[in-house]
Amino acid sequence: MKKIEVAILGATGTVGQKFVRLLENHPTLVVAELVASERSAGKSYAHAVVWKQETPIPTDVAGIKVKDLSAPLSSRILFSGLDSSVAGEAETAFAAAGHTVISNSSNHRMDAQVPLIIPEINPDHFQLVKKQVGPGAIITNSNCSTMFLAMVLAPLDAKFGVEAVQVTTMQAISGAGYPGVASMDILGNVIPYIGNEEEKLEEEVAKILGRLNDDHVDVHPMTVSAQCNRVAVFDGHMEAVSVRFSQSASVEEITKSLREFRGMPQERSLPTAPAHPVVVMDEMDRPQPARDVWVENGMAAVVGRIRPCNVLDFKMMVLGHNTVRGAAGAAILNAEAYQALGYLS
Amino acid sequence: MKKIEVAILGATGTVGQKFVRLLENHPTLVVAELVASERSAGKSYAHAVVWKQETPIPTDVAGIKVKDLSAPLSSRILFSGLDSSVAGEAETAFAAAGHTVISNSSNHRMDAQVPLIIPEINPDHFQLVKKQVGPGAIITNSNCSTMFLAMVLAPLDAKFGVEAVQVTTMQAISGAGYPGVASMDILGNVIPYIGNEEEKLEEEVAKILGRLNDDHVDVHPMTVSAQCNRVAVFDGHMEAVSVRFSQSASVEEITKSLREFRGMPQERSLPTAPAHPVVVMDEMDRPQPARDVWVENGMAAVVGRIRPCNVLDFKMMVLGHNTVRGAAGAAILNAEAYQALGYLS
Amino acid sequence: MKKIEVAILGATGTVGQKFVRLLENHPTLVVAELVASERSAGKSYAHAVVWKQETPIPTDVAGIKVKDLSAPLSSRILFSGLDSSVAGEAETAFAAAGHTVISNSSNHRMDAQVPLIIPEINPDHFQLVKKQVGPGAIITNSNCSTMFLAMVLAPLDAKFGVEAVQVTTMQAISGAGYPGVASMDILGNVIPYIGNEEEKLEEEVAKILGRLNDDHVDVHPMTVSAQCNRVAVFDGHMEAVSVRFSQSASVEEITKSLREFRGMPQERSLPTAPAHPVVVMDEMDRPQPARDVWVENGMAAVVGRIRPCNVLDFKMMVLGHNTVRGAAGAAILNAEAYQALGYLS
Amino acid sequence: MKKIEVAILGATGTVGQKFVRLLENHPTLVVAELVASERSAGKSYAHAVVWKQETPIPTDVAGIKVKDLSAPLSSRILFSGLDSSVAGEAETAFAAAGHTVISNSSNHRMDAQVPLIIPEINPDHFQLVKKQVGPGAIITNSNCSTMFLAMVLAPLDAKFGVEAVQVTTMQAISGAGYPGVASMDILGNVIPYIGNEEEKLEEEVAKILGRLNDDHVDVHPMTVSAQCNRVAVFDGHMEAVSVRFSQSASVEEITKSLREFRGMPQERSLPTAPAHPVVVMDEMDRPQPARDVWVENGMAAVVGRIRPCNVLDFKMMVLGHNTVRGAAGAAILNAEAYQALGYLS
């Protein structure tokens, strides 16, 4: 079977690099085009990029000549890791030109007719693309910190009804891109503020868990309150979560429903899908970002310390790999799900 | 005026060292005796201790010969930084022998007749000592993470009535003593578990804010839920706090009541008292442990980001110096308050 | 072919755990016995160990019952990661009992009749075992910081004659074992002292590069001066090296001789051998421990910044994985080489 | 006595901020003017700066309106913390306009008629300013890593004759300014390269220790070889130093000559002068940046582990505060020395 050619928008950035890395040896997608700023345009990718991944630049990508945002593209699917300062207009234009834009950028996430997808949770929301005007489409994944919260809340909501959620995050420096967080700001420190992060977390989860209603999504009525912090961790966002349910639950029932959670990516064995989207650890001091971030190749939400909460009902720790399942990996899984569901044919 | 002689129990430990450091040049207290384990007994303090403070060992303390726990002491006040494995019995024995034990250890904090004091909040609880049997007394300060939460909740409870509190802590490594946290466990990592810390936080704050009722304290009916984490910070515990009030409030009113908070340490200008027990910062990304932990010489709770909470009513960040106001400094302020209120005469 | 059964001495320690991890799926060796302190004896390995590796405990090892040091062993090869406080006597006793002890401990390294082996460099030194009394043998690998220096000096000495070496190390915390370095000592800090490390570095490299002379090794006459520091890095020792040669050299010739370096592990394709024992990077700011420590699966010395030195002749940076090629991996490669050279038959 | 008014060039940068902080309450100098980029010009300093110092912006400086580089200045002394991209021309122009430019920038350090001063070592080099054309003058201090090496070598050269020096540095992130080193590059890592740092170290020390010869300096004939690394330390450069002397020496003699080292700043009790420009610690694991960087208020070179070297003659560890004595503090001490020697009258 011939692989589908994809382009990466914002290919030299942190998310763009992760797209390149995660797509190496992908069974159905192949990187054909790379798009970056004018400064990089015309150079080979190997010369344009300051490569920060753990493995070398894939050989077949290193020599691709980088295009700028104004160049016409031939790829069917465009993965967008564009900076939000340019993503809005660029993605709209590419969709109008007929491309399927699978975006990690935040600009269009809350647009009424743009699906905000976690394929284990709401693959039916893909149908929103039919309401988008023009020949192409824009599909988005959530913010990195939203991802792991939503993945944990979805099975709990199905069983116990989520009414309210308190979440305090401890987020990794790689979430801010490169150069991102200055070392003088974070070495031996905690920064109790990440611009717009709390707002994204609070509103995105309600859309993802919302119900598709013809041409829009009725957002889930849960209330979410987030406090977001940056800590001196390389990869892996930690989230201290408390939840109030509408129905009674127990630690055992919660654990069971998280461990049994599966969705269409697992049923269809999508290439990038984790076998278990949520992994529950039993050790009392886990998960930890430095030890557990690569569970399920970074594609799972890892949960620990499920216990009763004095104020709401239950609390737990959640961990996820912010640049894999929290960014590029999420978009790739979205593309795989979109294709598997027949939208590309 | 002649200074009161004090002994330090557990003098070579992290808290013991901080006692030595903070008592240097104290106007009314002077270190006369040092007590540590048998291994240290008989050595000069300078030889017994692995000194980890920022300033050198005070000259007049360096030469004091360390005693072991079984030695009789002559000092009126004993500051206890003993490990909880020995503090329980030892403090009881010293109180029975007539000493005033001002303890930072957790063993007796929740005993019905032992006052758990923050002198800005509940100096009337000192009266519990009259119910203690024997000639001496045991007085305790709270756990480090409790301290800053209680200091912030006290003025808010007085104005708005605190009903429920969610707190997620990000605690410094110095809180675990020395050698304490292994570097392999915390470098680039977060540990989502600190033994007994959540329980202490949840129960101590209710006793401190409780009402003295003759021979015991009626604990405050608020519910508290804590999630405690260790982060790669040297000094300074951060706490992400959400509060539900019984009465309506606003960000401005909360800020005002925190800034205006004063207690008897301020009224009587106790030597170690901060001018402002709670300091509110306006910057959107503060407080930060690496920058703000020494505000008010480490004796204040530093607050920032006061804002509405979707789930409870308001949320904010709180920071405090865990080994100063959160440990040795708290005990010293307790001693100063106890003396100022005439209990020692 | 039946795999050779091996025991791991000190199996619950940092080096012991790395033995377990690196021997998982080994083609010719299989872990059959695990030995640790009395505290662990009788427990299954999974219960006895505080596992700190990146991958889970291998299933077939998790259930092995741990023995104590006094128990008789049946394995032919014993890998020793024992603490130096017990390794000396224990290894002697096991060798006397007929076992081949492949040790990472320092106790016997400098014994006249104990080979100190890097199989790319001095496999002929294995012959020293014939001079050891008794039926068994003791074979050692070098200290972690010695390893990478020796691997780089060997090909340079062969071509240009090494006369003098200055080395300043920046060593990872994992080199001190667990719990090892206290976080309060190393967070945001450098410790300019590692007990006995400089002495080991200075004397071991001269033995490894020495010439076998019947029943002993004539040490290499080079002078070595080491300054050893601990830095806040998890895995990977960095070494700033300056060398004086007896013959003229150039950056190009040095680079070439390092890149072309091969030994018997490469010629015989030993299972754990790196394809290239020394890898030279061209980037001006490499190698870096956080990025390059896993080059060649952690079994190579990684070199960069080869350039003239104003005081000696040339200088360069050297990096190696201290717990892989610098410890357990070195011992395993020694066992493979020993077997390949026919000593076990 | 009326204080001399000074301007700070590059006032919003890391070095500029340190000038502001160190000049607070200075007995003879007062900040009157602040100069920064066009982006800051016209704003009050408090609004223009992203303040990163440990203490608040001095009140009398916070309200000063920032000027841009083209504005005429009235201050007699200009402290320059300008970026090297603009410092060259700007400093020349200000000197031509009659100002005394005391610069921390590297641009003019090696100019034949520009004194490169450490006032404990070579205050006679100030005379070079008489050869500068025009009414003003440019005076420089050394690079941060040069400073501590030169301060240690000067008394040793006087006693034992320095012939050759090997130095490997482990430098703090604050040396790169703000935002400077990206956290993703340095957390848990070492970067073995700092642009131009090795060259500066190698050539500056020879000029500082050189002999004034009428209109120029005859550089010291010692050879210096440097290897410079960035480590995850906030403040404080560590240097592993080896030295070859022309005359015999002992550890005791070296220690004594370092401890007895004094210069004109000490003789004249200059306000910013350390009592002891070189402090020698006896502990075997010191100095350490996180513990010892504030010795002598950050104005001393702190030395430890003096011991014989197998390759050269002696080796030792050296530590200094890179943004105090290594930058702004050096310039301020230069200004004080220049004034004390009568050059300003």
Given a cut of 90, whether residue A111 has pLDDT beyond it is: yes
Which pLDDT score, from 0 to 100, does residue D134 have?
81
DSSP labels, C223-255: EEEEEEEEES-SS-EEEEEEEEESS---HHHHH
Given a cut of 80, whether residue C293 has pLDDT beyond it is: yes
Residue C338: which of C91, C87, C100 has the closest Cα? Answer: C100
pLDDT confidence bin for D171, thresholds 50/70/90? very high
- Mean pLDDT, chain A, rounded, equals 97
**A283, A291, A292: which to substitute to probe chain C, counting the most C Cβ within 10 Å?**
A291
- C192 is written with which tokens? 């300019």
Inter-chain contact B174–C184, Cβ cutoff 8 Å?
yes
Contact D114, D140 (CB under 8 A): yes
Contacts with C101 (C-beta within 8 Å, 6 or more apart), sequence order: C9, C78, C80, C91, C94, C95, C136, C137, C138, C139
Which pLDDT score, from 0 to 100, does residue B54 have?
80
**CA–CA distance, C247 with C161 (Å, rounded to integer):** 6
**CA–CA distance, B328 with A36 (Å, rounded to integer):** 56
Closest-CA distance, D179 to chain A, in angstroms, reads 5
**B52, B54, B283: which to substitute to probe chain D, counting the most D Cβ within 10 Å?**
B54
DSSP secondary structure letter of residue A182: B
Which pLDDT score, from 0 to 100, does residue A304 have?
98
Q: What subunits make at least 3 CB pairs under 8 angstroms with D? A: A, B, C
pTM to 2 decimal places? 0.96
Which pLDDT score, from 0 to 100, does residue A52 have?
87
Using an 8 Å CB-CB cutoff, list chain A residues near D174. 184
User: Which residues of D are catalytically annotated?
Assistant: 144, 237
Given a cut of 80, whether residue B69 has pLDDT beyond it is: yes
D171: nearest CA in chain C? C190
pLDDT digits (tens, 9 = 90+) for A241-272: 999 999 999 999 999 999 999 999 999 999 99
φ/ψ (deg, to 5) at A15: -70, -40
Given a cut of 90, whether residue C336 has pLDDT beyond it is: yes
Given a cut of 90, whether residue B235 has pLDDT beyond it is: yes
pLDDT digits (tens, 9 = 90+) for C314-330: 999 999 999 999 999 99
Using an 8 Å CB-CB cutoff, list chain B residues near C174. 184
Using an 8 Å CB-CB cutoff, list chain B residues near A225. 242, 309-312, 315
Inter-chain contact D294–B54, Cβ cutoff 8 Å?
yes
With H, G, I as helix, E, B as strand and everything else as coil, classify residue D101: strand
- B272 is written with which tokens? 């170690």
**CA–CA distance, B160 with A283 (Å, rounded to integer):** 40
Give me the domains of chain A, ranges plus CATH numbers.
Answer: 4-143+328-340 (3.40.50.720), 144-321 (3.30.360.10)
**CA–CA distance, A325 with A303 (Å, rounded to integer):** 15
Given a cut of 90, whether residue D55 has pLDDT beyond it is: no
**Which percentage of chain A shows pLDDT scores above 90?**
96
pLDDT digits (tens, 9 = 90+) for D210-262: 999 988 999 999 999 999 999 999 999 999 999 999 999 999 999 999 999 99
Q: Does A127 touch chain B (CB under 8 A)?
A: no
Contact A43, A17 (CB under 8 A): no
- Mean pLDDT, chain C, rounded, equals 97
Select from A234, A284, A305 the Cβ nearest to the Cβ of B188: A234
C289: nearest CA in chain D? D189
Using an 8 Å CB-CB cutoff, list chain D residues near A194. none
Closest-CA distance, A179 to chain D, in angstroms, reads 5
- Strand locations in B193-338 (E): 211-213, 216-218, 223-231, 237-245, 278-280, 301-308, 314-320
Select from D190, D309, D312 the Cβ nearest to the Cβ of C231: D190
Using an 8 Å CB-CB cutoff, list chain A residues near B315. 225, 227
pLDDT digits (tens, 9 = 90+) for B157-194: 999 999 999 999 999 999 999 999 999 999 999 999 99
Task: Name the residue type at position B28.
Answer: T
Given a cut of 90, whether residue C52 has pLDDT beyond it is: no
Inter-chain contact B186–C186, Cβ cutoff 8 Å?
no
Is C321 among the catalytic positions?
no
Three-state SS annotation for A227-262: EEEEECCCCCEEEEEEEEECCCCCHHHHHHHHHCCC
**CA–CA distance, D158 with A3 (Å, rounded to integer):** 74
Contacts with A209 (C-beta within 8 Å, 6 or more apart), sequence order: A121, A122, A150, A153, A154, A157, A162, A220, A222
Residue B333: which of B173, B126, B133 has the closest Cα? Answer: B126
Contact D207, D217 (CB under 8 A): yes
Closest-CA distance, C87 to chain D, in angstroms, reads 26
**C183, C189, C190, C234: which to substitute to probe chain B, counting the most B Cβ within 10 Å?**
C183
CA C120 to each of CA A291, A323, C153, C264: distance values in angstroms, whole numbers, following the listed order:
33, 40, 12, 6
> Average of pLDDT values for A84-111?
96
Helices D144-160, D251-259: inter-axial angle, 10-degree rounding: 120
> Average of pLDDT values for D66-74?
96
- A285 is written with which tokens? 């001091």
Q: Does B291 touch chain D (CB under 8 A)?
A: yes
Closest-CA distance, C176 to chain A, in angstroms, reads 19
D17 CB-side CA count, 13 A: 18
Q: Per the residue annotation, which of B144, B220, B228, B321 is the catalytic one?
A: B144
Given a cut of 90, whether residue A134 has pLDDT beyond it is: no
Using an 8 Å CB-CB cutoff, list chain A residues near C294. 54
Select from D174, D185, D187 the Cβ nearest to the Cβ of A184: D174
Which pLDDT score, from 0 to 100, does residue C53 have?
87
Q: Per the residue annotation, which of A99, A108, A125, A144 is the catalytic one?
A: A144
Which pLDDT score, from 0 to 100, does residue C131 have?
92
pLDDT digits (tens, 9 = 90+) for B10-38: 999 999 999 999 999 999 999 999 999 99
Select from D188, D234, D294 the Cβ nearest to the Cβ of B188: D188
> Average of pLDDT values for C181-194?
98
- Mean pLDDT, chain B, rounded, equals 97
Contact D74, D5 (CB under 8 A): yes
pLDDT confidence bin for A55, thresholds 50/70/90? confident
Which pLDDT score, from 0 to 100, does residue B70 have?
94
Which pLDDT score, from 0 to 100, does residue A222 have?
98
Chains B, C: CB contacts within 8 A come to: 56
Whether residue A192 has a cis bond before it, omega within 30° of 0: no
Which pLDDT score, from 0 to 100, does residue A133 have?
86
pLDDT digits (tens, 9 = 90+) for C131-185: 998 889 999 999 999 999 999 999 999 999 999 999 999 999 999 999 999 999 9
Which pLDDT score, from 0 to 100, does residue A17 have?
96
Residue B141: which of B272, B30, B231 has the closest Cα? Answer: B272
pLDDT confidence bin for D47, thresholds 50/70/90? very high
Residue D193: which of D169, D158, D217 has the closest Cα? Answer: D169
Using an 8 Å CB-CB cutoff, list chain A residues near B193. 284-285, 305
- B235 is written with which tokens? 């000094």
Q: Is B40 left (phi over 0), alpha (psi -120 to 50) or beta?
A: alpha
- A322 is written with which tokens? 């912010």
pLDDT digits (tens, 9 = 90+) for D300-317: 999 999 999 999 999 999
Task: Name the residue type at position B3.
Answer: K
pLDDT confidence bin for B1, thresholds 50/70/90? confident
D285: nearest CA in chain C? C193
**CA–CA distance, C131 with C127 (Å, rounded to integer):** 8
pLDDT confidence bin for D321, thresholds 50/70/90? very high
Inter-chain contact A54–C188, Cβ cutoff 8 Å?
no
> Average of pLDDT values for B50-69?
93
Which pLDDT score, from 0 to 100, does residue C253 have?
98
Select from D170, D227, D310 the Cβ nearest to the Cβ of C202: D310
Which pLDDT score, from 0 to 100, does residue D1 have?
72
Which pLDDT score, from 0 to 100, does residue B260 have?
98
Is C144 among the catalytic positions?
yes
Given a cut of 90, whether residue A182 has pLDDT beyond it is: yes
Closest-CA distance, A310 to chain B, in angstroms, reads 5
- C171 is written with which tokens? 């060593």
Select from C54, C188, C294 the Cβ nearest to the Cβ of A188: C188
Which pLDDT score, from 0 to 100, does residue D226 have?
98
**CA–CA distance, C93 with A229 (Å, rounded to integer):** 55
Which pLDDT score, from 0 to 100, does residue D220 have?
98
Contact D19, D34 (CB under 8 A): no
Q: Does D311 touch chain C (CB under 8 A)?
A: yes
Given a cut of 90, whether residue C228 has pLDDT beyond it is: yes
Find residue C332's DSSP bridge partners. none
> Average of pLDDT values for D76-84?
96
Which pLDDT score, from 0 to 100, does residue A119 have?
98
C238 CB-side CA count, 13 A: 34
Contact C240, C315 (CB under 8 A): yes
- Strand locations in chain B (E): 4-9, 29-36, 67-68, 77-80, 100-103, 137-140, 162-171, 190-191, 211-213, 216-218, 223-231, 237-245, 278-280, 301-308, 314-320
pLDDT confidence bin for D52, thresholds 50/70/90? confident
Which pLDDT score, from 0 to 100, does residue D303 have?
98
Displacement of CA B335 from its chain's centroid (Å): 12
Inter-chain contact D225–C317, Cβ cutoff 8 Å?
no
Which pLDDT score, from 0 to 100, does residue C1 have?
72
Select from B180, B187, B234 the Cβ nearest to the Cβ of C234: B187
Q: Does D237 touch chain C (CB under 8 A)?
A: no
**CA–CA distance, C76 with A77 (Å, rounded to integer):** 58
Which pLDDT score, from 0 to 100, does residue D48 have?
96
Using an 8 Å CB-CB cutoff, list chain B residues near D294. 54
Inter-chain contact A178–D184, Cβ cutoff 8 Å?
yes
Q: How many CB atoms sit inside 10 A of residue A337's CB?
A: 24
For B:241-280, CB contacts with A below 8 A are 242, 244
Q: How many CB atoms sit inside 10 A of residue C250's CB?
A: 12
C284: nearest CA in chain D? D193
**CA–CA distance, A292 with A269 (Å, rounded to integer):** 23
For C:71-90, CB contacts with A below 8 A are none
Using an 8 Å CB-CB cutoff, list chain C residues near D311. 164-166, 223-225, 244, 312
- D7 is written with which tokens? 């301007």
Contact B337, B119 (CB under 8 A): yes
Q: Does B181 touch chain C (CB under 8 A)?
A: yes
- B86 is written with which tokens? 């020995």
**CA–CA distance, A211 with C247 (Å, rounded to integer):** 78
pLDDT confidence bin for B134, thresholds 50/70/90? confident
Long-range contacts of A48-53 (CB under 8 A, 24+ apart): A48/A12, A49/A11, A49/A12, A49/A17, A50/A12, A50/A178, A51/A17, A52/A14, A52/A17, A52/A178, A52/D184, A53/A17, A53/A18, A53/A20, A53/A21
The H or E element that residue D90 is part of is helix D84-96
Q: Does B286 touch chain A (CB under 8 A)?
A: yes
Residue D246: which of D305, D311, D306, D313 has the closest Cα? Answer: D313
CA C137 to each of CA B252, C23, C82, C233, D222: distance values in angstroms, whole numbers, following the listed order:
78, 21, 16, 36, 51
> Average of pLDDT values for B302-327?
98
> Average of pLDDT values for A120-133?
96
